[in-house]
Amino acid sequence: MCETCGCGLPGEEATISRPDVDSGHHEHGETAAHHHERPHKSGLLQLEQDVLRKNSLLAERNRGYFEALGIKVINLMSAPGSGKTSLLEKTLAALKDELPAGVIEGDQQTLLDAERIMATGVPVIQVNTGNGCHLDAAMVAKAMKEGAFESVKLMFIENVGNLVCPSLFDLGEDHRVVLFSVTEGDDKPLKYPTMFMSADVCIISKTDLLPYVDFDIEVARTNLMQVNHHLKVFELSVKQEESLMPWIGWLKGMKSS
Ligand SMILES: Nc1nc2c(ncn2[C@@H]2O[C@H](COP(=O)(O)OP(=O)(O)OP(=O)(O)O)[C@@H](O)[C@H]2O)c(=O)[nH]1
Ligand SMILES: [Mg+2]
């Protein structure tokens, strides 16, 4: 169990490497945690498995619930500040009148993002996780009960800004979309592979800033494909309406699927 956030991450498996001694590459895809013998903590491992198993069962229940109501669900994940809420604001405006949407907002504290969504006229629920660093399936089930989502056909879940823990928790979504902004560096898929492996869509965001940052979009794409060659990739900026069109078109296509 991760001792800092209690999220089910196997914290004791962290890999400690000295770059001058250890290249960081391990043969046959092994992590250092698998390389080095460590004391067996069966109780801890059991607790971690229980947390994730319970979440998976609840996520399946959510999935059935969404399916029965004909609601498609998108789990939006990224590091803090990559542009999830900004993209939602533009997306909701573009989908207006065509695809009734709803939003579940996840943050540790504040109603700030929910207030931004509320201003678009779309029904929204804010989940504050306190010390928690991710949303889980039980929180989503509860939010669905609390929200005015009766007419919703497309539900966006904005996860807590964090490039690690949210990837471990299935919420019952149809698609996992990870945002990766050009200010974060083109190496992020390699450094946080679990998130990019668990997603099926990646949005390279804030592309209007490309002229001002050291971010090579070809390198970023190569890194993404190295981690997950199935990823569907969009490049966009909320400052450039045209760039949003492929993303909006993809979402509209869900209506018929
Ligand atoms: N230049 C530029 N700035 C952007 C873009 N998208 C978002 N921003 C800015 O980036 C900052 C963070 O954007 P948010 O949309 O709040 O990011 P977020 O991912 O929802 O943040 P958290 O919910 O805190 O994780 C804000 O100052 C936005 O105005 C973009 O495409 N281009
Ligand atoms: Mg946000």
| Digit-coded pLDDT (tens) for 182-226 | 999 999 999 999 999 999 999 999 999 999 999 999 999 999 999
Q: How far does residue 143's CA lie from ligand 2's centre (Å)?
A: 17
Which residues approach ligand 1 with their CB closer than 6 A?
A: 78, 80-86, 113, 161, 205-206, 208-209, 237-239
Please indicate, yes or no, whether the overall pTM of this predicted structure exceeds 0.85.
yes
The CATH architecture that domain 47-253 belongs to is: 3-Layer(aba) Sandwich (3.40)
C-beta of residue 233 within 8 angstroms of C-beta of residue 204: yes
Q: Which ligand is nearest to the CA of 236?
A: 1
Residue 175: which H helix or E strand, with range?
A: strand 175-181
Which residue minimizes the CA distance to atom 10 of ligand 1?
83
Q: Which amino acid is at 62?
A: N
Apex 119 CA angle, 113 and 124, nearest 5: 55
Q: What is the pLDDT of residue 19?
A: 60
C-beta of residue 144 within 8 angstroms of C-beta of residue 241: no
Q: What is the pLDDT of residue 26?
A: 45
What separation in angstroms does the CA of 7 have from each of 15, 56, 60, 129, 167? 18, 14, 19, 11, 11
Q: pLDDT (tens digit, 9 = 90+) per residue, 217-254?
A: 999 999 999 999 999 999 999 999 999 999 999 999 98
Structure tokens at 3: 């001792």
Q: pLDDT (tens digit, 9 = 90+) per residue, 47-56?
A: 778 889 999 9
Candidates 75, 78, 86, 188: which one to mutate for ligand 1, based on the most atoms within 8 Å of Cβ?
A: 86
255, pLDDT greater than 90: no
Q: What is the pLDDT of residue 38?
A: 47
